[in-house]
Structure 1
Amino acid sequence: MKVLAFAASSSTKSINKTLANYAASLVTGAEFELLNINDYEMPLFSQDREEELGQPQAAKDFFAKLGEADAIIISFAEHNGTYTAAYKNLFDWTSRIDQKVFQNKPVVYLATSPGPGGAASVLATATNSAQYFAADVKASLSIPSFYDNFDMETQKLTNAELDDQLKTAVAQLTE
């Protein structure tokens, strides 16, 4: 089984990237790839740019990468209650190739933030719209207060209850 994991963030210090990497490492018997959405940077999407540029190769490559995976793990960063601009732009361009962006793949949606909200707003938005983009959401989980619940040195969740919830969530990718 091949799992594709990524953070919906362009930050080089993304805690969501750290969480996605940890979550992917928990999928029993799977090979995983941690994707960096910065490798798929494109101009800001607009109808005018689409008419001018067509479909950028980076969007085609991202769509193909999603298609090659057996399962997908995304950890969403939250900017002002919603998607980061970098992820939203990549998503917008990719959805113009095919609205079924996630190609009926099983996915686990995660989110975290340094604060107690755990990026729950963006997670709810992503989960609620998943059906329109052919994401078979097996589980979603918000990790609040990331630095209180995750040990950056060992790269593991230290909160046993949250760790059990995460293990249960990612296990659903192989069922």
Structure 2
Amino acid sequence: MKVLAFAASSSRQSINKQLATYAASLVEDAHVEVLDLNDYEMPIYSSDRENDQGIPTHAQTFYKKIGEADAVIVSFAEHNGSYTAAYKNIFDWTSRINQKVYQNKPMLLLATSPGPGGAKSVLSSAVGSAPFFAMDVKASLSVPSFYDVFDSEQGVLKDDVLNAQLKESVFSLRS
């Protein structure tokens, strides 16, 4: 099984990347590829740019990586209650290739934040819009208070209840 994981964030210290990476490590017998959105930076999407210059190679590569995966794990960072600008731009460009960006891949959608909200607003948006973009969402999970429940040195969730929920969510990718 090939699992593609990424944080919907461009932060070099992304807690969502830590969470996505940990979740992907829980998929048994899988080849995991963790993407960094910084490797897919493109000009801000506009129809004028698309008409003048076409769709950037980075968007095409991103779409292809999703197509090659057997499952996708995304952990959403929340900026002002919504998607990060970095993720939204990559998503906008990629959706110009095919609105069904996620190509019916089994998906685990995650979100975390330092506070007790756990980025639930953006996670709710992602889950709600999933059918429009061909996300086969098998599970979703918000992880609140990241620094209290995650051991960054070990790279693991130290909250037993959340860890059990995450393992169950990861297991659902195979069904």
Give the TM-score, by structure 2 length: 0.99
Corresponding residue for residue 116 of structure 1:
116
- 1: CA distance, partners of 2:165 / 2:31: 21
- 2: CA distance, partners of 1:11 / 1:148: 20
- 2: CA distance, partners of 1:154 / 1:14: 15
Once the 2 structures are TM-superposed, how far is the Cα of residue 80 of structure 1 from its aligned partner?
0.2
Q: SS at the partner of 1:4?
A: strand
- 2: CA distance, partners of 1:143 / 1:122: 12
Once the 2 structures are TM-superposed, how far is the Cα of residue 140 of structure 1 from its aligned partner?
0.3
Corresponding residue for residue 18 of structure 2:
18
Which amino acid counterpart does residue 2 of structure 1 have in structure 2? K
Equivalent residues in 2 for 1:153-168, closer than 5 Å = 153-168=153-168
Once the 2 structures are TM-superposed, how far is the Cα of residue 96 of structure 1 from its aligned partner?
0.4
Equivalent residues in 2 for 1:19-168, closer than 5 Å = 19-168=19-168
Instruction: Indicate the percent of aligned positions where both proteins have the same amino acid.
Output: 66
Give the TM-score, by structure 1 length: 0.99
Corresponding residue for residue 4 of structure 2:
4
Provide runs of 4+ in structure 1 moved above 6 Å: none
Which amino acid counterpart does residue 55 of structure 1 have in structure 2? I
Which amino acid counterpart does residue 50 of structure 2 have in structure 1? E
1:52-96 deviations in Å (ceiling 9; x for gaps): 111111100000000000000000000000000000000000000
RMSD: 0.5
Count of residues paired in the alignment: 175
Gaps of 5+ in 1: none
- 1: CA distance, partners of 2:168 / 2:96: 33
